Amino acid sequence: MSQTGPFIRVTTVSAPLKGSFPLDHEGTCKLEMLNYMVCLHEKKQQNSECRSTAKDYFECRMNHGLMDKEEWQKLGYGDAKQISK
């Protein structure tokens, strides 16, 4: 008989491969995030016009351990070969 109801426990939980990353509680990359948000607002939410600021934000997150370092091509920035700084 299968159990149903609100008291069923999940026995195994695994994190997703992508899409889950630590929050920036200390505001390490807050300036880059705000620059990106301002760009989106000024460009009427057209993210293609804010690619360079988005890249700066990703770079900050990677440099400070807030996301895994990835090749720029995998993040959609095939024109950039490697992380600067």
Residue 2 has pLDDT above 60, yes or no: no
What pLDDT is recorded for position 39?
96
What pLDDT is recorded for position 37?
96
- Domain extent, residue 39, equals 29-73
Contacts of 68 (CB under 8 A, 6+ apart): 21, 62
Is residue 35 one of the residues assigned to a domain?
Answer: yes
3-class secondary structure, 71: coil
Is residue 84 one of the residues assigned to a domain?
Answer: no
What pLDDT is recorded for position 83?
44
Is residue 37 one of the residues assigned to a domain?
Answer: yes
Task: Compare 55 and 84 and report the one with higher pLDDT.
Answer: 55
For the entire predicted model, the pTM comes to 0.68
Is residue 17 one of the residues assigned to a domain?
Answer: no
Domain count, the chain: 1
Is residue 21 one of the residues assigned to a domain?
Answer: no
Please name the amino acid found at residue 64. Answer: H
Contacts of 35 (CB under 8 A, 6+ apart): 53, 56, 57
Is residue 85 one of the residues assigned to a domain?
Answer: no
Is residue 68 one of the residues assigned to a domain?
Answer: yes
